[in-house]
Structure 1
Amino acid sequence: MSENKLQRKIIHIDMDAFYASVEQRDNPDYKGKPIIVGGLPQGRGGVVATASYEARRFGVRSAMPSKKAQQLCPHAIFVRPRFAAYKEVSQKIREIFHRYTDLIEPLSLDEAYLDVTHDKLEIGSAIEIAMQIKKAIKDELNLTASAGVSVNKFVAKIASDINKPDGLTFIGPSKIESFMESLAVEKFHGIGRVTAEKMKRMNLFTGADLKKLTEEQLLLHFGKPGKFYYKIVRGIDDREVQPNRVTKSVGAEDTFPYDLTDLEEMNVELDKIAKTVADRLQRYQLKGRTLTLKIKYSDFKQITRNQSFLHEINDLQTIAQTAKELLLKTSPEDKKIRLLGITLSNFNEIFTHKNTSQLELFQYDD
């Protein structure tokens, strides 16, 4: 590793069971009980956004169908998300971060990277700063966070997950390569379940196993991500903390309580989704050239259709009308539609805004 990389001080802060913890904090009756925030299990059922640690002990996980979560933990309390409340708390957490640095890259409402190589208070120690941030979050907001500290983003993110909840883990430069070698492949951020299974079929179970392959071999077996795997297994990550990220897309979708089979009903739902998208675009002063319609059928088959424009759009009428026209081209009559979504992308470069990753939360509105 170069001297420059050794000098960088990166903290990854990840709130513990954020939505569920906010609910337990705001409602004393929920304390110590298994709380599941997300779609309700009744009817078709929704999806788990997050679960308290009391519910996680039963195997409940984020993105799990609410019906399955209820089977695993029958006595769980299901709570609908209060996104406005979570966003307000997230803003207060961000204010705590800004006491130490302005180099903050939010990944969502509940996690962020901080570059404290040159911190505002001249504390000098990233570990001390992480401890102070955790203490401020606990004292001022009555919530807990876990922190990972290292010399780059990738290692810091993995470190924050090691001692949850309320953990603080430091992985120094001299420990990075041995730590990566001991890590199971499924624990590497960026290696999903399918890829991890493929690696195991190739007898690649740990970072040490991956490290035996050359970059060319990794590219051959895994395509472009192979270059990424080659670097991360050696703890190499040159990415800077980016306080201003460019939005690539803004969208919204809805899963319906029953299958839609009537075109008029589908169009009514598209009008609602288009309104949400248009509001978000105008709130962030964004315009895009490409509109994508997402359709998921009752058998979970999913398709997308898109249309590009010569000029940028963000007005409700164009978004709604285009989505309806794209839907019509799929011959929706007599089909059972479970979900519809609209996304706008291909933004003009001048339309950028700060902290755009907050938008990611709304991709899962249910």
Structure 2
Amino acid sequence: MSAVRKIIHLDMDCFYAAVEMRERPELAGQPIAVGGGRPRGVVTTCNYEARAYGVRSAMPGFKARELCPHLVFLPVRFDLYREASARVREILLSYTPLVEPLSLDEAYLDVTALGRYAWDIAKEIRARIFETTRLTGSAGIAPNKMLAKIASDWRKPNGQFAITPDQIDAFMRGLPVRKVWGIGPKSAERFAAAGIHTCGDLQKIPLHELALRHGKWGEELYSLCRGRDDRDVVPNRIRKSLSNERTYAENLATLAACQNAMAELYDELMEELRTKASERPVRKAFIKIKFHDFTRITRECLCDRPDIDTFRRLLTQGFESSPRPVRLLGTGVRFADERHIEEEHDPQELLDFGV
């Protein structure tokens, strides 16, 4: 019989804002937002003082100002955040090589083989992180990745929560369906309209009916709503692409508004590309658009040196193909593998892009 897995999900508390507050102690107790300060800018993250006013990440800066007139806007400083993230990562790797980073501020750890209580390990890690960086993090402990991620949000900020194997059934029955991986606000609304509010409600639907309604996702949902998730913690995942995206609190109604919002995404993407994958050859650039009705499109082109004009053209193509209010934008690049490095560009792809 295989050992029950012990998975920790570590999530740093309002990471960018916390780093800025550490660097600027004079801002202690004040509501601050990182990003969003320029015209049509968008809040990247904010501290808990700002959240008390209703300010949230991905919110337009002007809206954040309306909610909190004395909000302090600070520019994004990736060098600081990467440095802090690297120190946190070093601590995590001192416990196990099975660390799967999700972003600068969160990661999974598989501590099954350590022979210690995962609760004690998580508590020790959080204490070491604070001692080393003066930053706080929250942790979730569970037998799988989905439950660990849900648990890490249960005692935020600066806390931890565990879901043990014998607690899973009861925990899942009362868990809102919105907490399940892959279920967003609109999906939760549709479930609620059908009288399904909790995972316990969802468990009453037979597998064949879920599959009939939702296809392959229905089969996966049947397991997820019961707290089952077999995904491994995968360190050193080979990255095939690099992308970012943002959902906006208020829909972007015009192409000009989309272009302004995308400029910030592009800056972030290029910074991430420079620091995470500067040696990887780029083969394609792409954009993603999700409209107000949740339909989505992507546009991409062959491009080994993406610049802002490349993304502007792709965005224009995508938006003008079906002009509607936009709720989400994303930018990204796809990397070349050895086969792609050797092959020539597809002339038809270049023609489609208008080169």
Return the TM-score normalized by structure 2: 0.77
Tell me the amino acid that sits aligned with residue 13 of structure 2: D
Structure 2 distance, partners of 1:69, 1:278, is: 26
Tell me the amino acid that sits aligned with residue 285 of structure 1: E
Equivalent residues in 2 for 1:303-318, closer than 5 Å = 304-308=298-302, 314-315=304-305
Of 192, 195, 208, the match for 2:184? 192
Where 2:113 maps in the other structure, the secondary structure is coil
Of 78, 86, 107, the match for 1:83? 78
Tell me the amino acid that sits aligned with residue 85 of structure 1: L
Unmatched 5+ residue regions in structure 2? Answer: 247-253, 341-355
Partner of 1:218: 210
RMSD value over aligned CA atoms?
Answer: 3.8
Where 2:208 maps in the other structure, the secondary structure is helix
Among all aligned residue pairs of Structure 1 and Structure 2, give the percentage whose two residues are the same amino acid: 44
Partner of 1:53: 48
Map Cα deviations across residues 119-139 of structure 1 (whole Å, 9 max, x no partner).
3xx5x1111110100101111
Where 2:169 maps in the other structure, the secondary structure is helix
Where 2:232 maps in the other structure, the secondary structure is coil
Q: Which moved more, 1:338-347 or 1:234-243?
A: 338-347
Map Cα deviations across residues 266-321 of structure 1 (whole Å, 9 max, x no partner).
9xx8xx97x94896499443235443356899xxx98643235xxxx6346xx789
Map Cα deviations across residues 20-66 of structure 1 (whole Å, 9 max, x no partner).
111111101111111111221x53x2111111111111222111222
Structure 2 distance, partners of 1:125, 1:140, is: 23
Partner of 1:34: 31
Unmatched 5+ residue regions in structure 1? Answer: 352-366
Of 8, 12, 29, the match for 1:15? 12
Of 290, 311, 334, the match for 1:345? 334
Number of equivalenced pairs: 320
CA distance 1:277–1:22, change in 2 (3 Å): closer
CA distance 1:182–1:56, change in 2 (3 Å): same
Structure 2 distance, partners of 1:86, 1:281, is: 12
Partner of 2:343: none
Of 258, 276, 286, the match for 2:280? 286
Partner of 1:130: 122
CA distance 1:288–1:187, change in 2 (3 Å): same
CA distance 1:279–1:75, change in 2 (3 Å): closer
Structure 2 distance, partners of 1:168, 1:157, is: 11
Q: Is the 8 A contact 2:286 2:301 kept in 1?
A: yes
CA distance 1:68–1:222, change in 2 (3 Å): farther
CA distance 1:174–1:143, change in 2 (3 Å): same
Partner of 2:154: 162
Give, in angstroms, the shift of residue 74 of structure 1: 1.7
Give, in angstroms, the shift of residue 237 of structure 1: 0.7
Structure 2 distance, partners of 1:29, 1:323, is: 39
Q: Is the 8 A contact 2:33 2:43 kept in 1?
A: yes
Return the TM-score normalized by structure 1: 0.75
Partner of 1:142: 134
Tell me the amino acid that sits aligned with residue 75 of structure 1: H
Equivalent residues in 2 for 1:315-326, closer than 5 Å = 315=305
Structure 2 distance, partners of 1:331, 1:188, is: 31
Please list every run of at least 4 consecutive aligned residues from structure 1 whose deviation after the TM superposition is greater than 4 angstroms.
251-254, 293-297, 301-304, 319-332, 338-342
CA distance 1:341–1:167, change in 2 (3 Å): closer
Q: Is the 8 A contact 2:168 2:227 kept in 1?
A: yes
Give, in angstroms, the shift of residue 343 of structure 1: 3.2
Q: Is the 8 A contact 1:11 1:115 kept in 2?
A: yes
